[in-house]
Amino acid sequence: MNEQLLYLIELQKIDTETQKVLLGRKELPVLLAKKEETFGVIKSRIAEHRSNLDEKNGAHRELEDKLKKVLEQLRKTRDRIHDVKSNKEYQAVLKEIETLEKKSGVVEDQIISILEEIDAVKVLLAMKEQEFAGEQQRYEEDKRKTEEQIGSIESQLRSGQKQGDEIRGKIRKDLLKKYEIIKNVNHGLAVVSAWKETCNGCHMNIPPQLYNELLESMDDLICCPNCRRIIYRHDQSMDGA
Ligand SMILES: [Zn+2]
């Protein structure tokens, strides 16, 4: 293949890579911010589950305190039975004991029901905590990778610039100018491969005669008649190069 064409293909590869890196410089920080935001929502959800359990535990403690007070009152009231002086007073104390016993029964039922709620919340929370641990790990890994990518952008750009300059120095001025013009009107893509009479830039057919020229020509650069890009024959041996 024409040596100049090989340089142009190489330059296109470098320029395409640089465009990708530049796009990353613009988009990666936005992507990172989005990831942080999404994880913030996940974090606030688990915080809700945790505070739900805290609330229920708080309610349980309050009920236990309440029960303790009622039982204490009940004990004191029962003691008073020995000091009663009249039947009327005796009946009143009995009535009071009955009321307190009912009250303690109600609080005990409330305690049983809050303990059941706490158990259910704990089961759910354990499940959510496990999910969250996985999500947190994935997020942190993802975040670290993205931050690494962002961190290496400037050095990637510098090395692309250097490689590009080197190749540009080997390309004839008129060809380089042509390359830049085509690149500017074709969204950064000036050199494309062609295979089976199809341009890989615009995916239009290349007239057979021109395609044959592409296979045989060693000197002239051939452009796609549709998109005007410089085309070269797709060679399997160049894949992955
Ligand atoms: Zn084309």
Q: CA 169 → CA 77, 150, 172, distances in Å? A: 104, 29, 8
Answer whether 54's CB lies under 8 Å from 118's CB: no
Note the pLDDT tens digit of each residue in 43-56.
999 999 999 999 99
Distance from Cα 162 to the centre of ligand 1, integer Å:
29
Number of other residues whose CB lies within 10 A of the CB of residue 177 = 11
Distance from Cα 226 to the centre of ligand 1, integer Å:
5
Note the pLDDT tens digit of each residue in 57-111.
999 999 999 999 999 999 999 999 999 999 999 999 999 999 999 999 999 999 9
CA-based torsion, 192, 200, 229, 160: positive or negative: negative
Size of the chain, expressed as the number of residues it contains: 241
Distance from Cα 27 to the centre of ligand 1, integer Å:
29
Domain stop point among 126, 149, 171: 171
Domain stop point among 132, 148, 171: 171
Distance from Cα 17 to the centre of ligand 1, integer Å:
21
Distance from Cα 209 to the centre of ligand 1, integer Å:
15
Distance from Cα 150 to the centre of ligand 1, integer Å:
34
Q: Would the pLDDT of 239 be above 70?
A: no
Q: Looking at residue 56, which CATH number applies to its domain?
A: 1.10.287.1490
Distance from Cα 20 to the centre of ligand 1, integer Å:
21
Give backbone dihedrals phi and psi of 206, rounded to 5 degrees, phi first.
-105, 130
Q: Which long-range contacts (CB under 8 A, 24 or more apart) does 68-77 make?
A: 70/100, 70/103, 70/104, 70/107, 71/104, 73/100, 74/100, 74/101, 74/104
Nearest to 39 by CA among 122, 131, 125, 123: 131
150 shares a domain with 40? yes
Number of other residues whose CB lies within 10 A of the CB of residue 132 = 19
Distance from Cα 24 to the centre of ligand 1, integer Å:
27
Answer whether 172's CB lies under 8 Å from 4's CB: yes
The answer, as to whether pTM is greater than 0.85, is: no
Answer whether 222's CB lies under 8 Å from 197's CB: no
**Structural domains of the chain, count:** 2
Distance from Cα 5 to the centre of ligand 1, integer Å:
17
**Which residues is 192 bridged to in the sheet?**
231
Which residues 6+ apart lie within 8 Å of 220 measured at CB?
213
Note the pLDDT tens digit of each residue in 153-195.
999 999 999 999 999 999 999 999 999 999 999 999 999 999 8
Domain stop point among 125, 141, 171: 171
Distance from Cα 22 to the centre of ligand 1, integer Å:
25
183 shares a domain with 150? no
153 shares a domain with 179? no
Distance from Cα 191 to the centre of ligand 1, integer Å:
10
Domain limits for position 161: 3-171
211 shares a domain with 136? no
Q: CA 3 → CA 6, 8, 27, 237, distances in Å? A: 5, 9, 36, 16
150 shares a domain with 31? yes
